[in-house]
Homo-oligomer: A and B are copies of this chain.
Amino acid sequence: MSIASGLVCPTPHAVADRVQLGHGSGGTLTAALLRDHVFPVFDNPVLRQQGDGAVIRSLGPTLVMSTDSFVVHPLEFPGGDIGLLAVHGTCNDLAMMGAHPRVITAGFVLEEGLEVALLDRVLASMGRAVRAAGIDLVAGDTKVVERGRADGLYVCTTGLGARDPRLAPLPSRARPGDAIIVSGAVGRHGMAIMAAREGLAFEAEITSDTAALWPLVDCLAHHFGDQVHVLRDPTRGGVASALTEIALASRVGMRLAEERIPVPDPVAAACAMLGLDPLYVANEGILLAILPAEQADRAVELLREHPIGAGAARIGTVVEEHPGIVTLQTPLGGTRVVDLLPGDQLPRIC
């Protein structure tokens, strides 16, 4: 998540005198930390853009920059590892700004005693992801800290991309009547991490969805251009938090139909067992797109032609009523409000 997102904090949490795990959740505690402690220090027009990355007009008309730290535990999990996540996550933040990722940098903090073989696997993953995305890793840095001062390795990636002239997505551009589309199944990454961390065995293995989303963005840009009003990857805080942030930024309401949200059976079963809501579980390879309702069916169809978009679905509608609030209609006809998480449902998910 960009430092810039989360500017709109709906609840007046005060930050306590010590940092809590929830301050890293991407939820309201993170928003409060940014609002009260970070933005007042660094306030500037670029930060105020509130995107997943920053448009750097002073250095070129179309440059976009984004940064992300990765502290996922465990370092390797079904479907990926921290290296794959670090490349995909930062490239996806650029893609959600409508920017084509071009180069990336990586800063590593290694813990003394880390197995070099594990480091090699993570680097190999990053290399594969970088080549698959058609980008270059152009600079990096390595620091080592004593045993017990990290957890294997942390990596911070920063991406630079060029804004695609066909697109101008913004969290504030959702309009009443727009359709809300998700590009694939919800909840896989978070539950894959949870299963790996806790050693849980579910009937079917849940794998992370980690993937580079630029090909889907490119497809939407080609067919719908500027009609793509909003793009967002629902990572920390899940679909619920991402949509609530958009509803707040656009001053619109949203209505989701629960039975339309694609939750794989193993994810649903694992969530039920653990008392978690898949709408709040982190994803690392799906996007939310908001565009005019008349384009929705075609958009879903086009997304489904991509392997990572095969599970695309229209899950809801933007409405004029209850601005800033996302509601979920249950199959039985009930309605409940979906809100931002205060802290982590699952810490260290990315």
Contacts and interface: CB of A to CB of B under 8 A. Distances in A.
Nearest to A34: B142
Given A17-B116, A109-B71, A142 B24 contact: yes
Interface string A43-69: 010110000011010111001011111
Interface string A95-125: 0000000110111111111111101100110
A138 interface: yes
B119 A19 contact: yes
Given A19-B112, A66-B139, A107 B158 contact: yes
Contacts of A150: 149-150
A58 B139 contact: no
Copies in the complex: 2
Contacts of A68: 107, 141
Contact of A24 (B66, B105, B143): B143
Interface stretch (A1-9, A187-195, A299-307, A311-319): A1-9
A93 to B, nearest CB: 9
A222 interface: no
A20 B144 contact: yes
A280 interface: no
A41 B127 contact: yes
A20 B140 contact: no
Interface in A239-271: none
A334 interface: no
A59 B162 contact: yes
B65 A105 contact: yes
Nearest to A113: B18
Nearest to A58: B102
A156 interface: yes
A137 interface: yes
Interface string A154-174: 101010101000000000000
A345 interface: no
Contacts of A111: 19
A67 B107 contact: yes
A130 interface: yes
Contact of A144 (B24, B37, B53): B24
Contacts of A123: 37-38, 41-42
Contact of A47 (B30, B67, B138): B138
Contacts of A136: 42, 44, 46-47
A169 B269 CA distance: 60
13 contacts: A3-B137, A17-B115, A17-B117, A30-B142, A37-B120, A47-B138, A54-B103, A59-B60, A65-B105, A65-B158, A70-B143, A150-B150, A160-B160
Given A47-B136, A71-B149, A107-B156, 19 more contacts: A3-B137, A3-B141, A15-B116, A17-B116, A18-B115, A19-B144, A21-B144, A41-B127, A56-B103, A59-B102, A60-B63, A67-B106, A69-B107, A70-B143, A109-B154, A143-B154, A145-B154, A148-B148, A156-B156
